Structure 1
Amino acid sequence: MKFSRPEPSVSRLGHATERNGIPFLIAETHSMKTTGKNPRPAQPLRQITVDAGLLPKAPDAKRGQAAADRPATATVNIVAPVHPAVSAARLQMKQQAMTSALRKVGAAVDSGEMPAAEAKRLVLGRVVRGLGSVEAAEKWYRSHHIAELGGRTPAQLVRAGELKALLGHLDTTKAGSKA
C-alpha cells in the first residue's frame, strides 16, 4: 500500500505549512481582540501573524536592506466588513442622539437653568472658529464689551443669566457678517 503525501494547505490551527514549496505561516493569536479605542463597535477583529514577505514593502524601508534584517513574520489586523443596513442604522442612531442632545441644550438655555461652566463652553464653541483659536475666544469672552447688550462682556452676561440674549446677539451678528 502506497501512501501519498497530502497537498499542503493553510492551517487554521496556527502552525506553519507549505504551499508550492514556500513556507507559509498563519497563526491566529486572538479571536476577538479589540484595541483601547474601539473604532468599529461589535465588529470581529482578528489579529493574525503572516509571513512578512507576503506583505507590501513599507515606503520608508531602506532599499538595500538585507533579507536577514527584515522580520520573518508580521502581525495583521482583519476587520469584518459592515453591512450597509447596519451602517445606516448606526448613522440614524447617532443623528437621533444628536437631536436629543440639542433639544436638551435648547431647553436649558430657554429656561435659564444651564450652569455657567456649560454656558461658557457653549459660547466659546460658537465663536472659536470665527476667531481662529481657543485662546483668542477666551480673551474675547473675558474682555470684549458688547455695546448692544449694555456694554457688558460675554462673561458678565453669562454670570447674570442672560445666555439667551447673548446667543441671540451672536446669531444676528453672524447673519449680518454673511450678508
Structure 2
Amino acid sequence: MTTSGKKIRIPQPVLQVSVDAALLPKSPVKPAGASAAPGSDGKARINIVAPIAPKAVALRQNLRQQSVKAAVARVDAAIEANTVSPTEAKALVLALAEKIVGPGAAAEKWYRSHHLAAFGGRTPAQMVRAGELPALVAHMKGDAAKPKG
C-alpha cells in the first residue's frame, strides 16, 4: 500500500481503518495518514480517501463558471452605472491592457502614454480620469478580440 503524500481535501469522504503494521512499507518516511507508531498489538491507523466522482467534478466546474459569469456581470453593471472607483478603473484597464500589449511594465506604459486615435489622441489614463471608462473598456474589448499579428 502506497500513499501519495497529498493532503486530504475536505470535501472527500475519509475512512480511518486499522491494518497490520507489517503490511506497511518499510521506509524511513512515514506514510501520510499513518499513526506515528504501531500500537502494541502491531496495528497502524491508515486514512482511506474516496475518489471524487466525475459528476461531482463536473458540478464543481459548472459552479465555478457560473461564479465567474456572475462576477463579470457585476463588473459590467458597475462600469455601465459609472460607479467604479478610479483605483478599480485603473486596475481593470491594466488587466485588459495586459491582454493587448503584455504583462507588467508594458501595460503600465501603454496605460500612461499610448494615444488612442479613436478618442482624439487621449491616453487611457486621461480617459479614466475624465470618467469615460465605459467607452474605453468597449474599445479595448474590441481590440482584444482582434487577432494579433
TM-score class, shorter:
0.5 to 0.7
Unaligned runs of 5+ in 1: 1-23, 27-32, 35-39, 54-71
**Shift, 1:165, TM fit:** 0.9
Q: Determine if the alignment matches structure 1 residue 145 to structure 2 residue 119.
A: no
The structure with the greater share of residues assigned to helix is 2
Which of structures 1 and 2 has the bigger CA Rg?
1
Q: Does the 8 A contact of 2:97 with 2:111 survive in 1?
A: no
For residues 31-70 of structure 1, the aligned pairs below 5 Å read: 40-44=9-13, 51=25, 53=27
Q: Which residue of 2 aligns with 1:161?
A: 131
Identity %: 43
Report how many residues are paired: 125
Partner of residue 89, structure 2: 119
Aligned-CA RMSD value: 3.1
Seen in structure 2, the aligned counterparts of structure 1 residues 119 and 52 have a Cα distance that, compared at 3 Å, is farther
Amino acid paired to 2:11: A
Of Structure 1 and Structure 2, which has the larger fraction of its residues in strand? Answer: 1
**2:80 is the alignment partner of 1:110:** yes
CA 1:151–1:97: 2 relative to 1, 3 Å:
same
TM-score where L is the length of structure 1: 0.58
TM-score when normalising by structure 2: 0.68
Alignment partners' CA distance in 2, 1:89 and 1:161: 40
Alignment-mate amino acid for residue 127 of structure 2: L
Confirm whether residue 128 of structure 1 aligns to residue 98 of structure 2.
yes
